[in-house]
Amino acid sequence: MNKAKVKTTEIVQPKPRRKYDPVFKEETVALWRKSGKTAQQLSAELGISESRLFEWKKLYEPLDPASKSQQEKELAALRRENAILREQRDILKKTLGIISEIPRNVSNESTP
Question: Residues 50-96: pLDDT tens digits?
Answer: 999 999 998 887 656 677 788 889 999 999 999 999 999 999 999 99
Domain span holding position 90: 65-100
Domain count, the chain: 2
> If pLDDT is split at 50, 70 and 90, which confidence band does 40 have?
very high
Can you give the pLDDT at residue 81? Answer: 98
Q: What is the pLDDT of residue 70?
A: 84
| pTM, two decimal places | 0.44
Do 55 and 30 lie in one domain? The reply is yes
Phi/psi-derived region of residue 30, left when phi > 0, alpha when psi is between -120 and 50, beta in every other case? alpha
**30 and 42 part of one domain:** yes
Give residue 30's Cα distance to chain centre.
Answer: 18
CA atoms of 25 and 30, how far apart (whole Å): 9
CB contact at 8 A, 32 and 53: yes
